[in-house]
Structure 1
Amino acid sequence: MIFEHCHISDVVKIIPKRHADPRGHFTELFRLDLFKAHVGDVTFIQHNQSMSRPAGTIRGLHYQIDPAAQGKLVRCARGAILDVAVDIRRSSPTFGQHVAVELSSETDSQLWVPVGFAHGFCTLTPDAEVWYAVTNTYSPEHERGILWNDPDLAIDWPVSAQAATVGARDMLQPRFKDYAADFA
Structure 2
Amino acid sequence: MKELQATAHSLFRNGRELRVRVTEVRDETGIGHMLIFGEPVDGCLVRIHSRCLYGDVLASQDCDCGPELALAMDLIQQEGGQGVLFYLEQEGRGEGLEVKAMGLHIGEETGVDTFDAYRALGHPDDRRTYDHAAFALAALGLRSVRLMTNNPDKVAAVERAGLAVTAVPLVTEPQNERAAQYMEAKAKRRTTYPGHAGIGAGSTPAN
TM-score (norm 1): 0.32
TM-score (norm 2): 0.29
Larger radius of gyration: 2
Answer 1 or 2: which has greater helix percent.
2
